[in-house]
């Protein structure tokens, strides 16, 4: 079991992971590729104290090198869900299930809160993981809304289980879908429900009556990753120790709100790491 799982890949994630290693904890950073950090694209940075006038890519490379030198492990993957098991958390990383004692969310700027109804019906017909929840829709009709081609695998899996699968691609081209999947164009407008259950997906021009809606997203709003996580607007709510409302779950960097700056992210990553380490140590002392 991992001591700490860090979700992200920017400065906050790397600082958190580095500082977990400094305290001798095992840590893996789960994230998209290196170049997905916003910092990668920055032409010049001159306000991270001690490293004047540096390009974003060069700075990010220096950050990675520092983390790797200290034994931080990286895993390029998409995290669809994190579930609390009381004493530890289980992370769904591309459908491999990894256990960790503590979680540090450094997921960056959340691009969307989803469409109206999406959060409200999460777990009541809305899902972000076909492998996890597909069986609940055996013999039923579902829609799959996909921001990228990873949605095709989800849809193909569901096509073997469900009576009908409607595929709404928000990208192109669509590469490989089973024959019994119907493609519909349009932008998702809202999730419609009845009696606490999803009843339809409303598009700009059509409405698809259905029992379930699966979203395959480029980035997940963090509160949909982790059930019950408290947010303030589009930020994860944290205190000065970078604690969220969930036990042994911390957040750092842009996902906790403005200013969206490297020094803030690096500082918060450190604080989150030390808080996580202290909580793990305390839990293990109490277990003895």
Contact residues for its own copies, defined by CB under 8 A: 11, 14-15, 18-19, 22, 46-52, 59, 62-63, 65-67, 69-70, 238, 240, 257, 259, 261, 263-271, 274
Cβ closer to its own copies: 217 or 264?
264
Lookup: tokens for 135: 């069986």
Cβ closer to its own copies: 40 or 88?
40
Quote the least distance from Cβ 191 to its own copies, whole Å. 32
Cβ closer to its own copies: 226 or 274?
274
Quote the least distance from Cβ 199 to its own copies, whole Å. 40
Q: How far apart are CA 123 and CA 222, in angstroms?
A: 15
Q: How far apart are CA 174 and CA 151, in angstroms?
A: 10
Nearest Cα neighbor of 77 from 57, 64, 93, 95 is 93
Cβ closer to its own copies: 35 or 160?
35
Nearest Cα neighbor of 152 from 167, 132, 170 is 167
Q: How far apart are CA 144 and CA 147, in angstroms?
A: 10
Q: How many residues does the chain have?
A: 288
Cβ closer to its own copies: 172 or 240?
240
How many other CB atoms are found less than 10 A from the CB of residue 138?
Answer: 11
Quote the least distance from Cβ 65 to its own copies, whole Å. 8
Q: How far apart are CA 127 and CA 142, in angstroms?
A: 11
Query: ∠ CA(94), CA(11), CA(100), 5° rounding?
Result: 40
Lookup: tokens for 239: 């205190």
Cβ closer to its own copies: 68 or 161?
68
Quote the least distance from Cβ 274 to its own copies, whole Å. 5
Quote the least distance from Cβ 252 to its own copies, whole Å. 10
């Amino acid at each position: 079991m991992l001591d700490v799982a860090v979700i992200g890949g920017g400065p906050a994630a790397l600082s958190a992971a580095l500082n977990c290693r400094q305290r001798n904890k095992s840590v893996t950073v789960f994230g998209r590729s290196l170049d997905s950090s916003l910092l990668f694209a920055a032409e010049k940075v001159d306000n991270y104290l001690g490293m004047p006038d540096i390009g974003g890519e060069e700075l990010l490379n220096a950050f990675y090198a520092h983390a790797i030198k200290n034994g931080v492990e990286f895993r390029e993957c998409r995290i669809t869900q994190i579930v609390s098991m009381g004493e530890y958390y289980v992370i769904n990383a591309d459908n491999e299930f990894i256990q960790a004692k503590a979680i540090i969310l450094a997921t960056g700027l959340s691009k969307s809160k989803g469409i109206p109804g999406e959060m409200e019906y999460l777990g009541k017909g809305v899902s972000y993981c076909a492998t996890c929840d597909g069986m609940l829709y055996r013999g039923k009709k579902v829609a799959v809304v996909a921001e990228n081609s990873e949605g095709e695998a989800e849809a193909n899996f569901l096509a073997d289980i469900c009576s009908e699968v409607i595929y709404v691609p928000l990208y192109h081209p669509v590469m490989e879908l089973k024959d019994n999947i119907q493609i519909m164009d349009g932008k998702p407008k809202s999730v419609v429900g009845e009696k606490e259950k999803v009843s339809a997906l409303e598009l700009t021009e059509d409405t698809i009556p259905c029992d379930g809606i699966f979203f395959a997203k480029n980035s997940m709003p963090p509160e949909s990753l982790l059930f019950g996580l408290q947010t303030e607007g589009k930020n994860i709510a944290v205190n000065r120790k970078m604690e969220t409302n969930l036990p042994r779950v911390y957040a750092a960097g842009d996902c906790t709100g403005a200013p969206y700056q490297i020094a803030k992210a690096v500082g918060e990553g450190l604080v989150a790491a030390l808080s996580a380490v202290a909580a793990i140590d305390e839990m293990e002392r109490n277990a003895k």
